Amino acid sequence: MEVEAALESFHSLTLANIMPRLETMPVVTADADLLSVLKILRSRHHVWVVESRENMKLVGVIRYIDVIDVLLPPEAHKFKLGMTSKIMRSMLGGATKAEDVAERHVLTIDKDATVLDALMKMRKYRVQVLAVVEDGKLVGEVSLRILIDELLRLLRVGGAQWKQ
């Protein structure tokens, strides 16, 4: 299998076929305390926030980088129009639960979308992870790491050789 052919089949894979099982993903409920969120973020780059484990309705995402806002005191956020949400996200500003600090505007993609669709969306919005949703419910995720792993797996299986 040539690299071109491997990339072509890679691009046409649907996300449903490559996304990790829900149990393996970093997920907390909206009412989870911030300490449990921070514990997950020690080893993960993001945590999905859902309404409940039963309905899995996506509330938002907390990214590793967002922890800076959580840890800073409210006065460290220079007050500008539209910055009030960041002040509220501070632990000292009163944030106690996952839903208090979650970014509500989550980039999502359908489970029937292709790897190419996901890559195009990641590039357009300069993100490394997308929530895979179905009817507003979190069903999976796709990240650059998952895509790299899948491409390497395809190349190994197909025995493709990189040619100079």
Amino acid letter, residue 126: R
What's the pTM value of the predicted model, to 2 decimals?
0.86
Alpha carbon distance, N-terminus to C-terminus of the chain? 16
Mean pLDDT across the chain: 88
Q: What is the pLDDT of residue 62?
A: 96
Second-level CATH architecture of 3-158: Roll (3.10)
User: Tens digits of per-residue pLDDT, 4-25?
Assistant: 888 899 999 999 999 999 999 9
User: Tens digits of per-residue pLDDT, 37-90?
Assistant: 999 999 999 999 999 999 999 999 999 998 888 888 877 766 554 555 555 678
- Phi and psi for 12 in degrees, rounded to 5? -90, -5
Domain spans of the chain? 3-158
**CA separation, residue 157 to residues 6, 36, 151, 162 (Å):** 10, 39, 10, 14
CA-to-CA distance for 130 and 144, rounded, in angstroms?
9
The kind and range of the H/E element at 46 are strand 46-50
Residue 13: half-sphere exposure toward Cβ, Cα within 13 Å: 21
User: Tens digits of per-residue pLDDT, 107-136?
Assistant: 999 999 999 999 999 999 999 999 999 999
On whether the CB atoms of residues 10 and 142 are closer than 8 A, the answer is no
Q: What is the pLDDT of residue 64?
A: 92
Q: What is the pLDDT of residue 88?
A: 63
Residues with Cβ within 8 Å of residue 91, at least 6 apart in sequence:
34, 70, 71
Residue 164: pLDDT over 50:
no
